[in-house]
Amino acid sequence: MVWAQVAIYLLIVTCLGLGMSYTGYFFLAPSRPRALKQEAYECGVPQMAGSRERFSVRFYLIAIMFILFDIETVFLIPWAVLYKQLGVPGLVEIGIFFAVLGFGLAYLWRRGGLEWD
Amino acid sequence: MDPIFLIASAVALASAVNMVTQRNPVYSAVFLLVGFLAVAVTFLSLSAPFLAAIHVVVYTGAIMVLFLFVIMLLNLKPEELGAEYPIETRAPIAVLCAAMFGMMSWAILSDPSLAIPAKAPNATWGSVEEVGLLLFNVYALPFELISLLIIVAMFGALVLAKKRLSNVEATS
Amino acid sequence: MTFTIYELAAMQPALLVMIAGLLAVGLDTFVPSKTRIAHAMLCGGGVIAAMAALGSQLYYQRTAIHAFGNMLVLDDMACFLSLAILAATGLVLISSDADTTRRNIGFGEYYGLIMIAASAMMMLVASNDFMTIFVNLEVLSLALYVLTGITRKNPRSNEASVKYLVSGAFATCFFLMGVAFLYGATGTFALSGIREALALGLDSSMARVGLGMVMVGFAFKIGAVPFHMWVPDVYEGAPTSTTAFMSVTVKAAGVGALIRVLLIAAPMRSDLWADLLWWMAVATMVVGNLMALQQTSVKRMLAFSSVAHTGYALVALATMRSTDETFVPEAAASALFYLLTYTFMTLGAFSFLIYMGHELPGKDGTSEWQDAETLSDLAGMADRRPWAAAMMGLFLLSLGGIPPTAGFLGKFYLFAGAIERGHVTIAVIGVMASLVSLYYYLRVIVWMYMKEPMIADEKPHPSVAVVIALAGLATLLIGVMPGAFIAAAEHSIAVLR
């Protein structure tokens, strides 16, 4: 049973990781908290503002493009596996697919979609 | 029934419920992530390894990234989350969803084809090769049209989300 | 399975439109000194070439082309609806010349998305398999979500786009779940395969629920009650040229695909869907017209009126099963003919709103373009723009169903057919509903002819005038000599079986 081995492995790894860190925390480390120590470390400079800042909207475009090209790659995998079996018709099919999306990439590039205005 | 399938679907259901009921969007996203992984495991136990892999790559990879980006773009503080809808609006929606679920379960459970025992799939069923052969032979046309779908999404994303569009500003 | 070049002929018209659209984007992106004329020529050329291809298919080829393992079939119905979609696309291309410049829209993407949406619709009406139906439905929806929000600085347009996206995604879930159920019940995505599996006599509850959910998905896309909530907001918020485009073409494509699904996949199970469609058609006619009565914005009124007109078209589908239990698929011909008449009168009415647009002073000294929307924007226009106002009157009378316009014949053909098949109740409800609709259509005419003008600075654009004239001509032409069009619609359905 493959799954049983995986389960035992996961159990051991978890116990080992937790055990090491908690042993260190409870028995080895001295614990003398001060107000300054509790703050988030920011290059040694006192904190200016909250760490939960809003991200720029420009990341959104990058995330969308990531998804689109990710989906594109998904379709490439079965073709790569079947490359020999599909032969020329398969090459033509994936060629058309990538020609259209290559046009899309060129479009993005030219229109500055890959730039950080 | 396969115990792994049962455990994975229980995890998927529990995380889906948690995802809907959490107030903090980041917690919801994490539960969604767990749910996606659990669904991938159910695919695996239903002998669809390629689908499981794609599910992890696209959903837990790309879609989750987008969700987290949007949550961080908005980065709502607890006081900005707004009031919960009152129970009078939530209850009918819940009833409607339950009715929908009931109808769909009834349709599956009472289907006469259930009486016919299912054939065991052959060993390669659901593998990358099987899916690929279908995709590139039988469903070649929809496959090519998907490139059109993706390119429309590219045009749309750029037109709607780009801060400065070169040609639009040029004409103004 | 291998494909031959010959099979490409089935998608050649759609392919021509698609390539023209992609080239329009390419022209905008890669050619430094481009003009609007070049875009218009490219897209117009694509539309005309596709029309020519369809014409040669209809007059020389004659037999339907089944391609890609019967996933796509270019038969007479596909040609008929494709021609209607292309005519609407061509007219919208002419009228958006004004809109793109006035609103400062990037015209490469605008024209490109319109052309790609049109090509997806043409393939949708030719789709014979749920896989192609789904992908094409998604391509056209995605293009329309973007077109709705393409005026990026306008908050109403953004809101409309988000609403459309969310409700559209919801509809897609229904559609996809229904397809999954049908696949579970029959083991195939092909419409003809589903018909064979259902004919085996297996009374499948999964197929029943699946068919219902697919119909809900279509009802969302064509805006039938009770799935019409998005229509007024989206049609009102979108730039008017986009509204004109989607109000006519999506209905033609969606109803066309629905007809194909019902007639090819489930003709012998009309007992399952006929009642559902009956109630949907009645609710759509009644709700659409009653809501339109209360609107003060003409654009919103036309949005609700388009909901009502979906209901009229659905009457034909709902009465396909006559009261003595015989199945009369020829009834769908009246829906096709109605969609054709609807295309020109609605397109004309929306174009008139673009024509009557004026500039509003915006922030920081710039001016913002505003299409005519309220009744007061149109008040007294008959004196200043007599021809355009007369044309608008024609479109409104046609929408209301007054002879000798196309709208009258469309409705007459629909309701007479319904009565012939024994469905008197729905025909009476339909006639009553169109009587109610006359009130709000005539109100616009009254404002145009009997009130004093309230705005003085409308800036008509000649290209929109061309569209209004052409649409008016088509409305009159179909109204005066409907024979050829009705014969074409009947022939389209006859070969479908």
- For C83-93, what is each residue's pLDDT tens digit? 999 999 999 99
pLDDT average, residue stretch C111-122: 95
Q: What is the pLDDT of residues A36-62, one digit of tens each?
A: 777 777 677 777 776 667 777 788 888
pLDDT of B171 > 50? The answer is: no
Q: Band of the pLDDT at B172, cuts 50, 70, 90?
A: very low
**Confidence category of residue B151, pLDDT binned at 50, 70, 90:** very high
Secondary structure letter of residue A47 according to DSSP: P
**Interface with chain C: mutation pick from B147, B149, B162, highest number of C CBs within 10 Å:** B149
pLDDT, position C284: 95
Predicted pLDDT at C364: 62
Helix, coil or strand: residue A46 = coil
Residue among B112, B149, B168 minimizing CB distance to C104: B168
Q: What is the pLDDT of residues B50-96, one digit of tens each?
A: 999 999 999 998 899 888 888 888 877 777 777 778 888 889 999 99
Per the CB < 8 A criterion, the answer to whether C367 and C361 are in contact is yes
Better pLDDT: B115 or C315: C315
Percent of chain B with pLDDT over 70: 94
What residue spans define the domains of chain A?
Answer: 61-112
Contact A107 C2 (CB under 8 A): no
Q: pTM of the predicted model, to two decimals?
A: 0.91
The pLDDT of residue B166 is above 70: no
The confidence score (pLDDT) of residue B170 equals 43
CA–CA dist C68, C224 (Å, integer): 32
Q: Do B159 and C177 touch (CB under 8 A)?
A: no
From C18, which residue of chain B is nearest by alpha-carbon distance? B148
Kindly report, residue by residue over C188-205, the tens digit of the pLDDT: 999 999 998 888 766 788
Instruction: State whether C29 and A106 contact (CB < 8 Å).
Output: yes
Nearest CB to B172 within list C104, C116, C161? C104
Give the pLDDT confidence score for residue C221 in this predicted structure.
Answer: 93
Class of residue B5 by CB neighbours under 10 A (exposed 0-12, middle 13-18, buried 19+): middle
Q: Which residue has the higher pLDDT, C429 or C29?
A: C429
Q: Taking all residues of chain C, what is their mean pLDDT, rounded to a whole number? A: 89
In tens, the pLDDT along A62-111 reads 888 889 999 998 999 999 999 998 888 899 999 999 999 999 999 999 88
In this model, does residue C165 exceed pLDDT 70? yes
Binned at pLDDT 50, 70 and 90, residue C3 comes out as: low
The pLDDT tens digits for C364-399 are 666 677 788 888 888 888 888 889 899 999 999 999
Residues C238-253, mean pLDDT to the nearest whole number: 93
pLDDT confidence of residue C60? 83
Contact residues of B toward A, CB < 8 A: 4, 50, 54, 57-58, 61-63, 65-66, 69-70, 72-75, 77, 128-129, 131-133, 135-136, 140, 143-144, 146-148, 150-151, 153-155, 157-158, 161-167
Chain A positions in Cβ-Cβ contact with residue B70 (cut-off 8 Å): 60
Report the complex ipTM: 0.90
Q: What is the nearest CA distance from B128 to chain A, expressed in angstroms?
A: 6
**Cross-chain Cβ contact A110/C29 below 8 Å:** yes
Of B138, B142, B152, the CB nearest to C116: B152
The larger pLDDT score, comparing residue C325 to residue B35, is at B35
Tens digits of residue pLDDT in C471-486:
999 999 999 888 999 9
Between chain A and chain C, how many beta carbons pairs sit less than 8 Å apart?
Answer: 13
Q: Does A102 touch chain B (CB under 8 A)?
A: no
Q: How far is CA C178 from CA C197, C205, C262, in A?
A: 16, 12, 14
The reported pLDDT for the residue numbered B154 is 93
Three-state DSSP class for residue A6: helix
Write the residue in C116, C131, C146 that is nearest to B159 by C-beta.
C146
Q: What pLDDT, on a 0 to 100 scale, did the predictor assign at position B127?
A: 86
Q: Is the pLDDT of residue C329 over 90?
A: no
Of C2, C22, C29, the CB nearest to A111: C29
Given A89, A100, A110, which is nearest C30 (Cβ)? A110
- pLDDT > 80? residue C102: no
B134 CB within 8 Å of a chain C CB: no
Subunit contact C205:B172, Cβ cutoff 8 A: no
Residues of A in contact with C3 (CB under 8 A): 89
